Amino acid sequence: MTRFTVNNQAVEYRLDPETPLLWALRDASNLTGTKYGCGVGQCGACTVDIDGRAVRSCQVPIGSIEGSFVTTVEGLSRDRSHPVQLAWMAENVGQCGFCTPGMVMAAAALLKRVRDPSEEEIRASITNLCRCGVYPRIVEAVQRAGRIARGDERVAPVARPGTSPAEASRTVPALTPARDDKAF
C-alpha cells in the first residue's frame, strides 16, 4: 500500500510500489489528463507537480513518493482559471493538444519559482517536446501567464462550448465541483 495525496485527496494505492506514477494516475485514478508519450523520460507529456516540482511521472515509482502531494492537470484549477490555463487559451497554444497537459504543468511549476521568466529561462526550464512545434507560442503564453499571475493583465476565462467543471467531475471522479458551479 502506498499513500500520498492527489489533487488534494488522500489516496491509498494497492499497487506494486514500482508502478510508475503515470499509470497509477491514469489506470487506477482515471486521471487521464496526464499523457503517455515516450515512457522513457524524454517527452514530458506525463509531467505532473510533485511537492512543487515539475516531474515526469513515467519515471517515478509510486513507492518513492509516499506522503507526497501530487497535482495533475485536472487539479490545477476547478474552472480553468489558473493563469497558465487562461494564457494558453488566450494565446491559442494548443494544436493537437497532446503535449498540453505536461506543458501546462511544467509552466505552472516554473512560475511558482520565477515570477517573470525570460525567454531563455522558459526554454531552459520547459524541455517538453511538442510534435506540432508550438514552441514560440508557449514562450508567449508563459510570459502572459506570469503577467496574469502578477495582476498586470486580466484575461477573461474561456471555456470550451458545452463543458463545465461539473461535467468534468462526472468522468474524473477525483474532482468535485463547487456547489455553485454552473455550466458555461
Q: Which spans of this chain sit near ligand FES (rule: CB under 6 A)?
A: 36-39, 41-46, 56, 58, 94-99, 130-132, 134
Nearest Cα neighbor of 134 from 164, 85, 178, 92 is 92
By beta-carbon proximity to ligand FES, the closer residue of 96 and 158 is 96
C-beta separation of 13 from 24 below 8 A: yes
By beta-carbon proximity to ligand FES, the closer residue of 76 and 165 is 76
By beta-carbon proximity to ligand FES, the closer residue of 35 and 165 is 35
The minimum distance between CB 130 and ligand FES, in angstroms, equals: 3
By beta-carbon proximity to ligand FES, the closer residue of 102 and 146 is 102
The minimum distance between CB 167 and ligand FES, in angstroms, equals: 23
The minimum distance between CB 158 and ligand FES, in angstroms, equals: 17
The minimum distance between CB 97 and ligand FES, in angstroms, equals: 5
